Structure 1
Amino acid sequence: MELFSDKAGDEGLPGRERGWVMAAVMTSTLMAVFDGAMVNIALPQMTHALNVAAPVAVWFANGYLLSAAMTLLIFAALATRIGFRPVFIFGLSLFTLTSLGCALAPNAETLIAMRVLQGVGGAATLSIAPAILRSVFPGRLLGRILGLNALLIASSTAVAPVLGGFLLSALSWQWLFAINVVPGLLALMLAFKAIPHKPALSGQPFDLKGALLSATLLGAAIMATNSFASPHAADHAISASVINWFGLALLSGIAFIRHIRRADKPLLPPAIFHSGRFSLAALTSLASFISQGVTFVALPFLFQSVYGYSAFTSALLFTPWPVGIALVAPWAGKLADRYAPSIISTAGLLIFAIGLALLATLPDSAAQWDIGLRSLICGIGFGCFQSPNNREMLSSVVREWSGYASGVLAVVRTFGQCLGAALVSVLLAVMVSANTIAQQNQAVRVSLWLAVAASGCALVFSVSRMRRNQ
């Protein structure tokens, strides 16, 4: 297989050793994707089993998301200073151990605490996973390995709800966490065996002030978007909460930018954004994930509230999207190794925007095959965009800054998806007063056109990048 073949002048590890690193990184990614997808569908059962109110149960999911978002940049910066190996092994160990803790949690308080710690472990691995792959694979294969990573994530996204439903019906919610333990231990063995050591950078103190400011910034931003996403987002109390969290995010963001511009060794070097290729690729990724976040929240309302499909059928109607990504992503990554990644990702964005427009113009009574076909087009477009764009971000900075680039990539993905979900919640709160099918239909259609607009912004950023690269 070409991924593990060696050529003269290749940087990174020899072919056979790359395989072990890839297995460790992709196993940890698989665990994190499955965990997020399965826990969300188990919230009603967990609420009943632990005898807690729904607002408390929401933190079974939000606790993980919040702690992960707050620590993504911290771990990316730490890995740049002390090496990928100790950060990845720490994160994977913590994720595996707290998975067992979640499975054994006797009450809601313990489960929330375990989920918060699990989010920290997940952030440590996910924030540097692409950077690890870049460090061990030669540049000529970077697009292909990122395409395979996208294939894994898409396939996991499609399979996770089915596996989660099976575990919930056959066993109990505890197995959603216990299932992580064995693959986690195997991934740890591979990580110890294969991920290379890297000596610590001398004279590189850790930027504690920058870490605190970045955690405050990202945590407040996520809390603000989650307040928007609350079912009571139109209430006065929630509105005040949104303003407070947004204000904190704004102040800490200003302080963070001022700090990294003045610090000698900042948490995130501002020079990384001096590259137009990197900045435009990051903006393109942010806009595209906002679009995807909007669509993933809006479509269930369309399928279930407007069309009247069951939750299971709605899940099946989603399947063509990740299938489209899985079909295209490896080939798109391979093409990105031979041709300009910006051209391939821009073409993918165009297909993605067309697919979203087709979803927004679905008739009031659409056949299932019609819905599936339009979703498949979206998946094909997103699969064609994602791995070339990720390659563009990672390859546009020096190899020593791969950890920083990987952390920024994780942040824009997480925040984009959260912001997209929040925008749909705001539209539903504003436009749906009598909770009629007609009002929900209108709100969903506006949301989908908002997703089209966000993908249009991504296209503008991507075309600008193409012009800059000429």
Structure 2
Amino acid sequence: MSETPSDGLPVPRRYWSIVAIWLAITLAVLDSAVVNVALPTIAREFRIEPHEAIWIVNAYQIVIVVSLLPMASLGEIFGYHRVYLVGLALFTLASLACALSGTLVELTAARIVQGFGAAGVMSINAALVRFTYPQRMLGRGMGLNAMVVSLASASAPSLAAAILSVASWPWLFAVNIPIGLLAMALAASALPRIPRVRRRFDFVGAFLNAVAFGLLIGGVDLLTRMGQPVVGSLLMAGGLTSFVVLALKGRGEANPILPTDLLRIPIFGLSVATSICSFCAQMLALVSLPFLFDHVMHRSPAQIGLLLTPWPIMVGLLGPFAGAMADRVSAALMGCVGLLVFSVGLGALALLPADASFWNVAWRMALCGLGFGLFQSPNNRTMIMAAPPSRSGAAGGMLATARLTGQTAGATMVAILFALRPEGGGEKLALTVAAGVALAGAAASAMRFGAPRPGAPSA
């Protein structure tokens, strides 16, 4: 098949490529959330404790985090479409293994393989979007991609509940198989073919990357959840040291796994900082809000799910609009305005009275979604376009890594804040801190004013 044109794919191949990209990312996002709903059921069936069942989720998430940047590097070396197809195949086969699992060990092992497959999809996703759309439409493409991710995330709990109401938990994984096969069939013929980078894979860098993320995540878990501050702190220190070694190693390399070459580009580095702050604030809110609705406002599980819904719906609806605007308006401006609105929404949630009505909560949640939606697509577009075409994989891997880093930091901060307020009030403290972190993200976005705008003469 011929190489991809320099400015996107022709129609109708472009549309088939988009469908393949959307199907794959939907599967990866859904499986990050649907399993949570089934954890109590799985724990009862396997006769295990709840804290043991958590590893069904943790194994998937940890493998994704440690694999994103190495998978992005493999995409540059062997071809994005090849890594994407291998990732889809792994994910689909692992879904079958999950559905057939009869013990916790079997299910966790299958989830580990599934995590590698999901990392292959997530790390390459943004690069494929870049080469599927013409440059003038990239912001719109990023916005539509963000809409699909938001809607998949928002619908995951309801979809899981619907499946569990008529079938057993293995069907949560079995439904992935026909969708995965369809996505593979479309991807094999429609995805863009991008010239590969001629270099060796950096096994040492991949090892350091895995050690760094693994030690950090393990240390955070021991520090915040397991009540072992000394060992947790030592592991975190080891993780940070590994990151420093990895960064120093990459300074003399043309295409390092940790993309220090891209992070030295001011607008790229500031966009990464903006992303980390925004997703940290998002997770601070999304982890603490269910506790606020349950412990303080005394709402039922069904009501809590309904109260959380306006946020992702607003992000999904705004995604295409914000993305189309990003093709014409500075991401610095849209990110700054969006995160300021986001911060106001978070502050308003922190001030909620205990007897607040549904609509009193809903407009605050929608305001958060409005602000977050204004920021996300333009910021993603800027990160991808700031990288040279040959480093699109690294930029996409860093985009996903920044998101997961921010979310991990946010979840950790919630645990710490709740521990500081054992008598209660940690929920509103977490929302207040989230508002401050969103303001820091707005400041990082504002620092991009005056920097050259990717794909345009100026910012």
TM-score when normalising by structure 1: 0.93
Match of 1:224 among 219, 226, 235: 219
Instruction: Find the counterpart in structure 2 of residue 336 from structure 1.
Output: 326
Instruction: Find the counterpart in structure 1 of residue 40 from structure 2.
Output: 44
Instruction: Find the counterpart in structure 2 of residue 360 from structure 1.
Output: 350
8 Å Cα contact 2:275-2:402 kept in structure 1 = yes
Instruction: Find the counterpart in structure 2 of residue 4 from structure 1.
Output: none
* Cα displacement (A) at 1:52: 1.1
8 Å Cα contact 1:342-1:392 kept in structure 2 = no
Instruction: Find the counterpart in structure 1 of residue 428 from structure 2.
Output: 445
Instruction: Find the counterpart in structure 2 of residue 122 from structure 1.
Output: 118
* Cα displacement (A) at 1:212: 0.5
CA distance in 2, matches of 1:27, 1:72: 19
CA distance in 1, matches of 2:299, 2:65: 34
Instruction: Find the counterpart in structure 1 of residue 265 from structure 2.
Output: 275
* Cα displacement (A) at 1:223: 2.1
1:324 has 2:320 as partner: no
* Cα displacement (A) at 1:420: 0.5
* Cα displacement (A) at 1:345: 2.0
Match of 1:91 among 74, 84, 87: 87
Match of 1:211 among 192, 203, 206: 206
* Cα displacement (A) at 1:188: 0.3
Percent of aligned positions that are identical: 37
Match of 1:386 among 368, 371, 376: 376
8 Å Cα contact 1:205-1:265 kept in structure 2 = no
Aligned residues: 449
Could you say what secondary structure the match of 1:15 adopts? coil
* Cα displacement (A) at 1:353: 0.9
8 Å Cα contact 1:82-1:199 kept in structure 2 = no
Q: How does 1:407-426 map to 2 (within 5 A)?
A: 407-426=397-416
CA separation of 1:162/1:228 partners in 2, compared to 1, >3 Å: closer, same or farther?
farther
Pick which of 313-322 and 334-343 moved more: 334-343
Match of 1:171 among 148, 160, 167: 167
Q: How does 1:69-468 map to 2 (within 5 A)?
A: 69-202=65-198, 204-230=199-225, 232=226, 235=227, 238-263=228-253, 265-432=255-422, 439-440=423-424, 442-468=425-451
Deviation string 1:125-164 (CA, Å, 9 cap, x unpaired) is: 1011011110121110100011011111111122111111
8 Å Cα contact 2:212-2:239 kept in structure 1 = yes
CA distance in 2, matches of 1:130, 1:140: 16
Give the residue type in structure 1 aligned to 2:43: T
Instruction: Find the counterpart in structure 2 of residue 5 from structure 1.
Output: none
TM-score when normalising by structure 2: 0.95
* Cα displacement (A) at 1:99: 0.6
Could you say what secondary structure the match of 1:206 adopts? coil
Give the residue type in structure 1 aligned to 2:151: S
Give the residue type in structure 2 aligned to 1:88: Y
* Cα displacement (A) at 1:467: 4.0
CA distance in 2, matches of 1:422, 1:152: 27
CA distance in 2, matches of 1:309, 1:229: 27
* Cα displacement (A) at 1:264: 5.6
* Cα displacement (A) at 1:196: 3.4
Give the residue type in structure 1 aligned to 2:183: A
8 Å Cα contact 2:254-2:261 kept in structure 1 = no
Deviation string 1:219-278 (CA, Å, 9 cap, x unpaired) is: 222223333452x4xx3xx21332132022112111101111134653244221221110
8 Å Cα contact 2:69-2:398 kept in structure 1 = yes
8 Å Cα contact 1:284-1:461 kept in structure 2 = yes
* Cα displacement (A) at 1:56: 1.4
CA distance in 2, matches of 1:426, 1:445: 13
CA distance in 1, matches of 2:96, 2:312: 29
Give the residue type in structure 2 aligned to 1:322: P
* Cα displacement (A) at 1:322: 0.7
Unaligned runs of 5+ in 2: 453-458
* Cα displacement (A) at 1:76: 0.6
CA distance in 2, matches of 1:241, 1:40: 28
* Cα displacement (A) at 1:347: 1.4
CA distance in 2, matches of 1:276, 1:180: 40
Give the residue type in structure 2 aligned to 1:454: V
Superposition RMSD on alpha carbons, in Å? 1.5
Pick which of 161-170 and 125-134 moved more: 161-170
Could you say what secondary structure the match of 1:127 adopts? helix
Instruction: Find the counterpart in structure 2 of residue 26 from structure 1.
Output: 22
* Cα displacement (A) at 1:446: 0.7
* Cα displacement (A) at 1:305: 1.1
8 Å Cα contact 1:229-1:421 kept in structure 2 = no
Deviation string 1:84-120 (CA, Å, 9 cap, x unpaired) is: 0110001000001101110110100000000111111
* Cα displacement (A) at 1:198: 4.1
CA distance in 2, matches of 1:320, 1:265: 41
Deviation string 1:400-437 (CA, Å, 9 cap, x unpaired) is: 111111000111101111110111111112211xxxxx
Give the residue type in structure 2 aligned to 1:191: A
CA distance in 1, matches of 2:385, 2:254: 25
CA distance in 1, matches of 2:193, 2:127: 14
CA distance in 2, matches of 1:264, 1:449: 42
* Cα displacement (A) at 1:311: 1.3
